[in-house]
Structures are given as structure tokens and as C-alpha cells.
Amino acid sequence: MTDTVFEQLLILLQREFRVVPLQQLVESQGSLDGLQRVALTFDDGWEDTYSLAYPLMLRYGVPATVFICPGLMGTNRLLPEERFVRIWRSCKSREQLHLLQNDLRKWTTCNSSSLEMHFWARRLKQLPMDAKHMMLAHLEDIYRVAGDGVRRFMTWDEARIMANNGMTFGSHTMNHSTLKVEQPEHIMEDLVSSRQMIARKLGREITQLAYPNGGYDHRVIELAAEAGYSYGLTTDNGYVTRYTRPLSIPRISMADAVVTDERTSLHFPRTRVYLQRFSDKSART
């Protein structure tokens, strides 16, 4: 979402909703002064969350929760999913997709003949993090594709500035792991170490977690609770009600393609309908 559209969205939310911290939204559903509560969340901790979104949230007095990966802070490393897209596009431009497909079949033990990028991207998410990194490094090497990106993740200093000015932080695992495909001992180690590192770096208790790639199940939820988390956010579309389980909170994804008009400005009626389609009387994230 562009900064222009994001500012227009903040104006809409300030006018027609009550933007509150995530914990307050979960613990006290319903309206506030006749207006529905909403909470803003950001995943990954990209630098533009600090440089573009944060100043606007300060200007409009809007709180938010940012879920970060401690192992990626301050780096320009691409997420595994982004590395895969870069490899695929490079191979496509050089007419090497059939070669890439053969390699993917070996690494994912999938015999599909699909030449659809999204099919193989879904297979990638089913690999444990170590296997995923090994495969991507191998593919980047043989197809000569750079592994780093142009964007970077925010630094710890930037995160501290945000935390000192009303923004809340949570864990997004240490390095953006799809938790449900990992072994239990690796999940627990990741959840505990990422929580402890963020707490140590920011000087705050960390109780919130967002599952990378929406990868969670009952086992992950149980381990998250054991690791000390009180809230877990999914990528499931939905809103918060009194029946929502604290460690499987749904969200409403916002993107330019959904809420903008042909001039790439926020389409207020469309955005309003998009939000209300999830609920006309319950709290929303």
C-alpha cells in the first residue's frame, strides 16, 4: 500500500472507527462512543513501516502493532518467498522454467508438471526453514540469481524509537519460519528466542505473535502459549468477536488493488463496504 493511500485510510478509520491497541481490541470487543474498534498491524518489520507509515500514524495519533523477525533486523535479506519469485522470474526471462521445474521436483519431492509459479510457491512454504534455505541457495547459485534485495528491514534503533512513541511490537519468529512445518523443538526454540531477543532489545514484555505465511495449527498454538505468548495473529480473513480465541486471531488484509480507484486513490465507498462485509456490528482488525 502506498503512503498516500495509507494516509487516506487513516483518515477514514479516524472518522468512522476507533483505532485502539491490539490488546484492547481483543479484550474489549464492541463499540466505543458508538464507533467500532479496529487495530492496525504490520508484519515483517520493513524499513518503510518506520519511514513512511510511522510518521503518518504519529500525525494522526494512531497506535499499531509491528511484528518483527529479530534475525532479519537491519539487513536487506529477502524473505524466502521473495527469493523464490526472483528465481522464477529470472528463469522465465531466460526460458529456463522447464529446468527449474525439474529442480523443484527433486527438492520438494513433488512430481507435478505445473509451470505455475504460485503452485511451486505453495510447495516452498511446506518446507522446513533449513531445507528451504538450502534449496534457494542452490537455485540462486546454479541460475546465477542474486540473493539480497533492495529494501531493508528496520533497525533496532528505529524499532526503539517507535516503541518509545506508542507502537507495540511482537514476534514474527526469528527468521520468518512457517511454524507448522517445523519440528516441535525447533518451534519452541524459535518462539522463545525471538520473544526474548525482542524484549531485551526494546526493553518491553513481548506477548504477541503473528504466524508467518499464516502457518499455524493446534500444535503451534499450544507451543506459543507455552512459550509465553498471549495473542497469536493469523492471516485468516475475519473479525474479532467474544468467541475469538486469543492465539488464533483473524485479520482483514488491506491492499491497493482492493481499496483504490483508477487514480490509485483510496476509494472510500469501496473500502467501507470491504470492511463491513466482514461484520456490521463486531470489532475488526
97-150 residue pLDDT tens: 999 999 999 998 888 989 999 999 999 999 999 999 999 999 999 999 987 777
For cell 485468516, what's the residue? 236
Report the alpha-carbon distance of residue 263 to residue 201 in Å, rounded: 42
- Do 153 and 44 meet the contact criterion of CB atoms below 8 Å apart? yes
pLDDT at res. 29:
63
Model pLDDT, residue 268: 80
Residue 280 has pLDDT above 60, yes or no: no
pLDDT (tens digit per residue) in 55-86: 999 999 999 999 999 999 999 999 999 999 99
Grid coordinates representing 27 are 479484550
Share of the chain above pLDDT 70, in %: 94
Q: Is the pLDDT of residue 279 over 70?
A: no
**How high is the mean pLDDT of the chain?**
91
pLDDT at res. 284: 46
Grid coordinates given for 218? 493446534
266 pLDDT above the threshold of 60? yes
The C-alpha cell at 186 is 525447533
Mean pLDDT check: name the lowest of 20-29, 59-68, 75-84, 178-187. Answer: 20-29
Task: Return the number of other C-beta atoms located less than 10 Å from residue 65's C-beta.
Answer: 22
3-class secondary structure, 187 = helix
Predicted confidence (pLDDT) at residue 168 exceeds the cutoff of 50: yes
Alpha-carbon span 267 to 255, nearest angstrom: 12
What is the pLDDT at residue 189?
Answer: 97
- The label of the residue with cell 503512503 reads 3
Kindly calculate the radius of gyration of the chain based on its CA atoms and give it in whole angstroms: 20
DSSP state for residue 231 in the 8-state scheme: E
- For residue 222, give the C-alpha cell: 499450544
Tell me the C-alpha distance between 251 and 41, whole Å: 9
pLDDT digits (tens, 9 = 90+) for 190-207: 999 999 999 999 999 999
Query: Quick one: pLDDT band at residue 255, thresholds 50, 70, 90?
Result: confident
Write down the pLDDT at residue 95.
96
Residue 68 is predicted with a pLDDT of 98
What's the pLDDT at 272?
Answer: 78
